Each structure stands twice: as C-alpha cells, then as structure tokens.
Amino acid sequence: MKHTHTHDLSKGKILVTGGSGFIGSAIVAELNQMGIDNILITDYLGNDDRFKNLIPLKFNDYMEADSCEKIIQEDSYLLKDINTIFHLGACSSTTETDGRYLIKNNYEYTKMLAIWAYENNIRFVYASSAATYGDGAQGMNDQDPNLSKLRPLNMYGYSKHLFDLFAQKQNLLDKIVGVKYFNVFGPNEYHKSDMRSVVHKAFKQISETGKVQLFKSYHPDYKDGEQVRDFLYVKDAAQMTIHLAKNKSAHGIFNLGSGIANTWLSLAQAIFKAMNKPENIEFIDMPDYLKPKYQYYTKANISKLREIGYKEEITPIDVAVEDYVQNYLMTGKYLGD
C-alpha cells in the first residue's frame, strides 16, 4: 500500500453540494458522526420532501445552488474558509431527456466548481456515475485510462461522462477524485420518486399488496430475477467517499460498489425476511422503452479503492437490507435521527 498523506477535514469549512439529496445527506450524517459540522450545504430544495433529510443534520449554513454559483463567480469572502468540496449536486434522473438542462446542471456547474477548487487548492471529490459505463461492454474498469471508449446509454450518463473527459484532458484527474457509485440504496432516498431503489419500492409494494414485482428477463443467459446488480448500502458509500477525500494520494476515478454481484431475487428475499413476511414474487413485463437500455450485469471492481487503503468491511446485503427496513423504513427515521 502506498504511503498516504492525510487531508484534514476538520480544518476549514466543507462544502457539500446536493447536501439535501440521498448520498449528499448521508455524507453530512457521516461527517457529523466524526464530530464535524463546519459544513455549508447547497442544493435545489424544490417541491419534494428532500428538506426532511436536513432536519436531523448539523451544519453551518444552507444556500441554494444558484446563489452559490453566483458567489463563486464573484469570489466572495463567504467561501474563503472552504478546504474540501464534496460535489454531489446533479440531476440524477437516468430518465431525464432534457439535454440542455443536464449539460447546465451536471457538466457546466461541475466544470466551474472543479476549476475554482483547483485554483484555490481545495480538495475536490465529485460524483461521476457508473452510468458512464453504459452496458458494460467496454468493461467497468476504473483503472483504464481510455475513457473515450465508454458508451453511456442515456443522457444522464453522458453528462457525467463529458465532465470525466474534460477533467482528463485538463489533467485535473491527477488532482481531484471522481467516484462512480453503483446501485446505492438506503435511508434518505425517500424523496426520489421513480429513482428510489428497488428496496424502497419493494417495501411499499409488500406493505400494500403482500407481494413484489420484478421484471422478467429478456436475455437468454439470465433467468427471471437472476439479473444481477452491485448493490451498495448508502452508509458504506458515504464512508468510502470520505475516505477518498481524506487520502491525499487518492486521485482519478474510483468505482464505489460492494464488489459483489447480487441477483434481484436475493435482494427481494432479503426484504421479505427483514419484514418477516412470506416470499411472494411476481415477474412482470419490462416496458419496451427500457429493453434496449437495460443492464443485466453490473459489478464494481473495487481493487483501486482497496489499494488506496480502504479497509472497512462492506455491509453484506442481508444485513444492510435488515438495517434499512427495520431501523428506517418501518420507523420513518432519517440518517442522523
């Protein structure tokens, strides 16, 4: 393992963009656990319930994202103490089709923030996406420098891919960290409507109907329910992201996943078990629009994360599902409660 130089998160202020969102609020909750609350959160609070993620958290101030953009451009004294940025703010809907909106939110805003961080010697960790890998035909290797061969399947993935390419061309990837989250699930995703994890959706389905619906397989190599995903508990995702911020020798792109491929079936079975209900799984037709874009196999190779010194055990899927279902979904609690 390489010798690591530590970046002290407790010195100066931490900016968390998208801090009321799912992974952003989990990172703030984890920082609070570490005794850190000198945090500026920015986001677009909008019309959903994401503000509820903020209520149990400790932080210094909140600002709408466009106000933050303005004061960065003005080089305002309000930001003079920032020494770390977790840039989680983005439109994260994989079904969003407004390309102009995605470019402005996910590409141009990230560019501005990354350049500002670099010029001011601020530690910068940003969310890229596993969606940049597309169907996985080009591999899902975070150590392959040939980013231009990747073929994202949707506009969301492409908006993230564009920034990865920009950062590489500008030699920024030698200084900053990009993280590609795989299938993250857990508390504080409640506001995400259609983009909630299957765990959340299944919990609701089972509570209301006693059964869960999963998509049939249209691939000869995979039986119904045996399509696989790399599911990562949000508490692990937050710990991994913070580890990379603290470790000054970490730079470039990192896959963040469990490193384990679990079937939808095993996930559904864990949910029934956590809810103490009999298994009742129904396979339904996949919508036509989804069929050409559907991923049958995702699994993160996380050896690069391990090599940079991340030693924590990753929460097994049944343990993570049990914690999420019993301590959050059944109680209505949020991270930090």
Catalytic center residues: 156, 192
Q: Give the residue carrying structure tokens 């030698």.
A: 174
Structure tokens at 290: 């989804």
Other beta carbons within 10 angstroms of residue 323's beta carbon come to 16
Residues in contact with 296: Cβ distance below 8 Å, sequence separation at least 6, in sequence order? 217, 219, 221, 222, 227, 228
Q: How far apart are CA 167 and CA 163, in angstroms?
A: 6
Give strand pairing partners of 283: 214
Q: How far apart are CA 327 and CA 337, in angstroms?
A: 10
160 near 114, Cβ under 8 Å? no
Structure tokens at 318: 């049944």
Q: How far apart are CA 25 and CA 284, in angstroms?
A: 33
179 near 125, Cβ under 8 Å? yes
Report the DSSP pairing between strands 262-263 and 228-229.
antiparallel
Burial class (CB in 10 A: 0-12, 13-18, 19+), 277: middle
Would you give the distance in Å from CA 121 to the centre of its chain?
24
